[in-house]
Structure 1
Amino acid sequence: MPKIVDHDERRLELVDATWRIIARLGIEGATMREIALEAGFANGALKPYFPTKDTLLTFAFRHVFNRTNGRIREVTAGKAGIPALRAFCVEVLPLDAERVNEARIVVPFWQKAINDPDKAAIHRESMDQWHGAILEYLNEARSQGDVRAAVDDSAIAGHLLNMLLGAQIAAALAPDGQADPGLNGQLEAFLTLLQAGS
């Protein structure tokens, strides 16, 4: 009897292999051949799942985003306001090797999204979702009296989101997949400014 293949599991194995290759060799070194070899598959075995490297990169970006959102749901459950905002940001920040590797997937995707309207739309939808979540936490914090900054919440949300995305770029460029030990301090300083007001 032939072995039943779990196609979703196979795709995730390929994405994990992609992350490992990008972490070691960069995006240009992540050829379909290298990814297949890393995953323990024949080169041609990737075609039914990802016909091109581009489709694999898009899937990997979506997977990073969904995985991050899964972590966010876990750590923000039962929280509101500043505690929820802090937990959200900590899960997005590249504070360990796994999240640095995620950043190394996201940054090449952004590069391709510059000239690809479909990828740009995926990025925009993702960031709209995060912007909305940040706004929700800020509104809760302001109604609780914990945010006193005399700045519009939408502007604060945009500023914070840009800070988080900038941290992704810095992590992708860091040597040997090192996380920046100063990111937590920067986040806490930003939250302190929100609570201090003007």
Structure 2
Amino acid sequence: MPKIVDHDQRRLELVDATWRIIARLGIEGATMREIAEEAGFANGALKPYFPTKDLLLTSAFGHVFNRTNQRIALVTEGLSGLAALRAFCTEVLPLDEERVNEARIVIPFWQKALNDADMAALHSESMSQWHDTIAAHTSAARRAGEVSTPLEDAAVADHLLNMMLGAQIVAALSPAEHFSQDLEGQLDNYLALLTG
């Protein structure tokens, strides 16, 4: 009897392998052969699922974004206002090796998205989702009397999103400098400014 292949599971295994290879070797080291070997498959096994490396990179970005969102959902469950806002931000900030590795996936995706309309649209949609969530947490904090800044909620979301994405760049490109920074302290200082 032929072996039944779970195609969704195989696709996920290949995306996970891509994530690990890019984190370890960078985008240039993430050849289709390396990814297949990392996943434990023959080189030709990637083609039916991901005909191009760009498609695989897009899937890896989507995977990292979804993993981050799953963590965010867990840590913000039952929280609201400033506590939910802080919890959201700490899951995006590169505070440990896993989140630094995620930043190493995001940066090559950004580079490709500069010249690829589909990748750019995926990034824009993802960041818009985060922006709306940050603004909603800020609004809830304002209603609860935790935030008194005259800045609009959307402006707060702009600041926090830029801080988190900038921290990802520093973490991926300058690890020594990154780990000497107190990102949680910087976040707390910013949040303190919002409370007046």
Compute the TM-score of the two structures, normalised by the length of structure 2.
0.94
- Provide the rounded CA distance (Å) in 2 between the counterparts of 1:180 and 1:53: 34
After TM superposition, the structure 1 = structure 2 runs for residues 31-70 of structure 1, keeping only pairs within 5 Å, are 31-70=31-70
| Large movers: runs of 4+ above 2 Å | 178-181
The corresponding residue for 2:6 is 6
5+ unaligned residues in a row in structure 2: which ranges?
A: none
The corresponding residue for 1:193 is 193
Deviations 1:44-82 (A, max 9, x none): 011011111100000011111111111111111111100
* Displacement after TM superposition at 1:179 (Å): 5.1
- Provide the rounded CA distance (Å) in 2 between the counterparts of 1:184 and 1:8: 37
* Displacement after TM superposition at 1:14 (Å): 1.3
* Displacement after TM superposition at 1:180 (Å): 5.8
- Provide the rounded CA distance (Å) in 1 between the counterparts of 2:79 and 2:48: 42
1:184 aligned onto 2:184: yes
5+ unaligned residues in a row in structure 1: which ranges?
A: none
The corresponding residue for 1:173 is 173
After TM superposition, the structure 1 = structure 2 runs for residues 49-198 of structure 1, keeping only pairs within 5 Å, are 49-175=49-175, 182-195=182-195, 197=196
> Would the alpha carbon gap of residues 71 and 4 (structure 1) be closer, same or farther in structure 2, given more than 3 Å must change?
same
Between 123-132 and 150-159, report the one with greater CA deviation.
150-159
> Would the alpha carbon gap of residues 98 and 130 (structure 1) be closer, same or farther in structure 2, given more than 3 Å must change?
same
- Provide the rounded CA distance (Å) in 2 between the counterparts of 1:180 and 1:114: 30
- Provide the rounded CA distance (Å) in 2 between the counterparts of 1:24 and 1:174: 15
Please tell me the residue identity of whatever aligns with 1:130: W
- Provide the rounded CA distance (Å) in 1 between the counterparts of 2:101 and 2:161: 19
* Displacement after TM superposition at 1:151 (Å): 1.3
Aligned length: 195
Compute the TM-score of the two structures, normalised by the length of structure 1.
0.93
Please tell me the residue identity of whatever aligns with 1:20: R
* Partners of 2:17 and 2:38 within 8 A in 1: yes
Secondary structure in 1 aligned to 2:21? helix
CA RMSD of aligned residues (A): 1.5
- Provide the rounded CA distance (Å) in 1 between the counterparts of 2:186 and 2:118: 33
- Provide the rounded CA distance (Å) in 2 between the counterparts of 1:9 and 1:99: 23
What percentage of residue pairs aligned between the two structures are identical?
A: 71
